[in-house]
Chains A and B, each alone.
Chain A
Amino acid sequence: MDITHKVSNSINIIQLGGRFDAHEVAPVVAWLKGQAEAGKVNLVVNLAGVNFIDSTALSTLVQGLKHCREKNGELHLCCMQQPVRVIFELTRLDKAFSIYTSEEEATAFQA
């Protein structure tokens, strides 16, 4: 999986690419943990490059969302490809997350 870190509007963004599955979740889990420890509670996960997501990855994102919300923050998702969006709809997690079509929208909301 390709991972890029980015800060925009003082919001930490992680850009993911490729398969986001059980085998690839570890760096994302680590990043989320690091953000929580640093007190960063508003985060964006850009899924633009992700063409495959499985339940382990979903659980990882749900875990991150829970942490952020506990601290009155939010974990935003953006730029989902169609196959990934399908899975969110299937699991109805599209109802739980704030999902944006672009990174700008996701960060703009924070401002």
Chain B
Amino acid sequence: MFADLIHLHQNDFQTIAEAWIRVGAQAIRLVEHGEMIASMPKDISFSKKEIIGRNASGSLELHIHGMNDGAWQSIADAMTELFSHVLTTETEMEELTASLVETQDKLVALYELTQSARRALKIDDLLDLLIQESRRLLDADGAFTAIYFNNHRPQIRQSAIEPLPEAHLHAASTIYRKDTRRHNFKDSMTLPRGLSNVIMSTLPVRENVFACIGVFNKTGDFTSHDIKLLRAIAEQSGAQIDNALLYQEALARTRFETEMDLARQVQIALLPQSIPTLDGLDIYGASAPASQVGGDFFDIIARKGQPLVFMLGDITGKGMPAALLMTMTRTTARSAARNMPFSRPDQIVKRLNTDLLDDFSTVSMFSTAFIGTFDPVNRSLLFSNAGQSPILFMPVQGEPQLLEAQDIPIGIFEDYEYISQTLSLVPGDVLVAATDGFNESRNNAGEMFGMERMLLALKHLRGLSARGIADGLFKAVNNFSEDHPQDDDRTIIVLKVSERMESVSFQIPAGYEDLRIAAKALRELLMLHKVQESVINNCELAMQELLSNIVEHSYSGNKDKMIEVRLQVDGKRLIIETRDSGIPANIKLESVAMPDPLELQVGGYGMAIIQALMDEVQHQYKNEKNLWTLTKKI
């Protein structure tokens, strides 16, 4: 290995050779491991006489021809040693320089890589940059990274002149992963097809992720420098990959959270936004979802001329799957309730079971449901209970009781025959259908709210309206669980049979004879509320005056036009509301006065009578309609 360097010291060799020649030598040769690396003069025939100087290791010899005086031997040895030393130093210098240059190259390359990597926020961009640079720096045909997020298939990215099937790179990374101490593979027998040689290095990322980089198919073999460089690149990139992974996860989490948030909003929007009102029944429903999307649903559907349908259910499980099935179940139930004429609860449940069985079975989930219909005329409640609990019945006289589910949940057995049960209710009876988010709520001590507490709370709340009862139960369970986070959705429907009819709404044509209909309805409503006859008369007259006014002035007696009337008894007040789409009433209510009787005025009594008889008279013209509201304490 001195052969490459001797030319650097040709002058030194020449000086020494000339010195020997002056003292009688014919020629000088420098021999390393038996091979001549320098001689002087160049062309001579060597005589047999020679002295051979050797360095300490014996690798270098100085052959001095034409001399055989043993006195020169030690000088020759010393000179050879000196030469050997100079050349060794030179070699080391050379190597050091080479290594310095290489280190410099690597540093520049790494610096560039780091700079570019910093701009690559996305993990895929970063990995692509990494493999392209590694390939270039190591002068190989291809490079790849493999990231194992779990124990199965790694995510592979490659950059190659001739890209290899992912399976082959997967296989190569698996071999390396088994024993990361081996990092240089050149045995084509163990390597997957298409790989002639490959070097690997681990990318130091977080603990639960294994990531590695490989550079493959270099002409010739990878050197130990290549391996060192790859390791340096890998070490440098680990932190950046980690950051990119974090960024990607944060991004995914944000996106997921946004989507979940959206899903939750959709779910909430799917719950009834307003509760229909029904004469003879006070009904209220509400849902308090847990923080995530959930599986509870409820619905209250009023259909003209048919019993009111209400439903409440709970899909097993939580999160997105439950939410999706909840949406489906609710939609199917709603369409079943709406579109099946005179549907009984058992028919609706059966339809749900038939329609959704496949979907539920596929994901091994099911749904409990309570579906009821209420006919206000005969106050009969028909219901089917597919595994829903708790259902609490609180008769106006007697203790509250738990109605056990009669049937199995939806989504378990095909062709299951669900049944409807009947409950005849009397005014004051209360029925509460809830989901287990109520009774299974826990406090910080780990205790459950339980059925007993729920029944007790209900007993205290029974006197309130349906909404009052529902709000009270929400409050009771909140107070119990204190600051313990809500684990499950809480959904409730409360029915309370009204003591008496609270309101009636109808339309009449704008003809004088049809005002009788309104008068009859008003008398009936007020008689139900046991209002004094004289008060009923006054209210009837006030309404008559209002309706005659509308017929005469607003619609000019056009009987094709309709007047909407709503009569409501709200506590101790009667409220008469009318709407008509006729000419806007042009009247100053505050300046209405009873005409002077002695002037014998024909007309002008109507509005004055109304004002004299009622406590409040209001008129609004809104959305192209006259809205009149008369209020009277009864």
Residue of A nearest to B596 (CB): A92
A55 lies within 8 A of chain B by Cβ = yes
Contacting residue for B548 out of A56, A90, A91, A94, CB 8 A: A56
Q: Is the CB of B600 within 8 A of A22?
A: no
In-complex Cβ contact of A55 among B516, B598, B605 (8 A): B605
Contacts beyond the supplied A55-B609, A59-B605: 17 A-B pairs with Cβ under 8 Å = A22-B544, A22-B548, A23-B513, A23-B515, A52-B544, A54-B544, A54-B545, A55-B605, A58-B605, A59-B602, A66-B602, A83-B537, A86-B537, A90-B594, A91-B597, A91-B608, A96-B598
Q: Which of B513, B515, B600, B609 contacts A65 (CB 8 A)?
A: B600
A selection of 14 A-B contacts at a CB cut-off of 8 Å is A21-B544, A22-B544, A22-B552, A23-B513, A52-B540, A54-B606, A55-B548, A55-B603, A62-B601, A86-B538, A90-B609, A90-B613, A91-B608, A92-B597
| Chain A residues within 8 Å of B602, by CB | 59, 62-63, 66
A19 CB to closest chain B CB, in angstroms?
A: 8
Contacts of B551 in A (CB 8 A): 22
B-to-A contact residues, CB < 8 Å: 511-513, 515-516, 534, 537-538, 540-541, 544-545, 548, 551-552, 594-595, 597-598, 600-603, 605-606, 608-609, 612-613
Q: Which among B512, B513, B515, B551 has the greatest number of chain A C-beta atoms within 10 A? A: B512
B534 pairs with A86, CB closer than 8 A: yes
In contact, A66 and B600 (Cβ under 8 angstroms): yes
Q: Pick the contact of B545 from A55, A86, A95 — CB < 8 Å?
A: A55
Within 8 A of B (CB), among A31-85: 52, 54-56, 58-59, 62-63, 65-66, 69, 83
Checking A22, A66, A69, A94 against B512 with a beta-carbon cut-off of 8 angstroms, the contacting residue is A22
B600 touches A23 (CB 8 A): no
Task: Please report whether the interface of chain A is mostly helix, strand, loop or mixed according to DSSP.
Answer: helix
A93 within 8 A of B: yes
Which residues of A does B touch, CB under 8 Å? 19, 21-23, 52, 54-56, 58-59, 62-63, 65-66, 69, 83, 86-87, 90-96
Q: How far is the CA of A59 from the CA of B538 in the complex (A)?
A: 18
CA–CA, A52 to B595, complex, Å? 21
**Which residues of chain B have C-beta atoms less than 8 A from A83's C-beta?**
534, 537
Taken together as a complex, chains A and B put the C-alpha atoms of A41 and B606 apart, in Å, by: 27
Bound CA span A58–B534, Å: 19
* A2 to B: closest C-beta gap in Å: 16
Question: Of B513, B602, B608, which is in contact with the most chain A CB atoms at under 10 Å from its CB?
Answer: B602
CA distance A91 to B541 in the complex (A): 13
Residues of B within 8 A of A90 (CB): 594, 609, 612-613
CA distance A63 to B602 in the complex (A): 6
Residues on B with beta carbons closer than 8 Å to the beta carbon of A91:
594-595, 597, 605, 608-609
Q: Are B541 and A95 in contact (CB under 8 A)?
A: no
Q: Are A59 and B548 in contact (CB under 8 A)?
A: no
How many CB-defined contacts (below 8 Å) exist between A and B? 71
Q: How far is the CA of A19 from the CA of B601 in the complex (A)?
A: 22
**Interchain CA distance A94-B597 in the complex, whole Å:** 8
Closest B residue to A69 by beta carbon equals B600
Please name the 7 residue pairs, one residue from A and one from B, whose CB atoms are nearest each other, closest first.
Answer: A23-B512, A55-B605, A96-B597, A55-B606, A22-B512, A92-B597, A95-B597
Q: Are B597 and A93 in contact (CB under 8 A)?
A: yes
| Closest partner residue, chain B, to A94 (CB atom) | B597
In the docked arrangement, what's the CA distance between A69 and B598, Å?
12
Q: In the complex, A95→B538 CA distance in Å?
A: 21
> Given the complex of chains A and B, what is the CA–CA distance between A59 and B609 in angstroms?
13
B611 to chain A, nearest CB (A): 11
- Shortest CB-to-CB span from A79 to chain B, Å, is 18
Residues of B within 8 A of A58 (CB): 605
Q: Looking across the interface, which residue of chain B has its beta carbon closest to that of A56?
A: B548
CB distance from B96 to the nearest CB of A (A): 120
Most chain A CB within 10 A, of B515, B548, B552, B605, is at B605
B540 to A21, Cβ gap below 8 A?
A: no
A93 contact set on B, CB distance < 8 A? 597
Q: Could you tell me the distance between the alpha carbons of A96 and B598 in the complex, rounded to whole angstroms? A: 5
Chain B residues lying within 8 Å of A23, measured Cβ to Cβ, are 511-513, 515-516
- With a cutoff of 8 Å between Cβ atoms, the chain B residues found around residue A59 in the complex are 602-603, 605
Question: Does the CB pair B548–A54 fall under 8 Å?
Answer: yes
Give the residues in chain A near B537, CB-CB below 8 Å.
52, 83, 86
Q: How far is the CB of B429 from chain A (nearest CB, A)?
A: 38
A52: chain B residues within 8 A (beta carbon): 537, 540-541, 544
Q: Residue among A52, A55, A91, A96 with the most chain B CB within 10 A?
A: A55
Closest chain A CB from B631 CB (angstroms): 18
Which residue from chain A places its CB closest to the CB of B549 in the assembled complex? A55
Are B600 and A96 in contact (CB-based, < 8 A)? yes
The complex places the Cα of A87 from the Cα of B605 at a distance, in Å, of 11
A58 and B597 alpha carbons, distance in the complex (Å): 11
Chain B residue with the shortest CB-CB distance to A26: B512
CB distance from B489 to the nearest CB of A (A): 56
Knowing A23-B512, A54-B541 touch, does A62 contact B613 (C-beta < 8 A)?
no
Which A residues are in CB contact (< 8 Å) with B613? 90
Shortest CB distance B206–A (Å): 87
Residues of B within 8 A of A63 (CB): 602
Q: Which residues of chain A come closer than 8 Å to B609, judged between CB atoms?
A: 55, 87, 90-91
User: What's the least CB distance linking B34 to chain A, in Å?
Assistant: 141
Which residue on B lies nearest to A93, using beta carbons? B597
CA distance A99 to B311 in the complex (A): 63
Within the complex, what minimum Cβ distance (angstroms) separates B473 from chain A? 48
Q: Which residues of B contact A21 (CB under 8 A)?
A: 512, 515, 544, 548
CA distance A52 to B534 in the complex (A): 12
Report chain B residues within 8 Å CB of A94.
Answer: 597
Most chain B beta-carbon neighbours within 10 Å: one of A19, A58, A90: A90
Closest to B551 in A: A22
CA distance A83 to B538 in the complex (A): 9
Give, as a whole number of angstroms, the nearest-CB distance from B580 to chain A.
16
Whole-angstrom distance between the Cβ of A73 and the nearest chain B Cβ: 14
Which residues of chain A are near B538, meaning CB under 8 Å? 86
A56-B548, A62-B600, A83-B534 known; A22+B515 contact, CB < 8 A? yes
A65 to B541, CA, bound (A): 23
Contacts of B516 in A (CB 8 A): 19, 23
- Per the bound structure, the CA–CA distance linking A94 and B540 in Å amounts to 21
Q: Which of B512, B540, B598, B601 contacts A95 (CB 8 A)?
A: B598
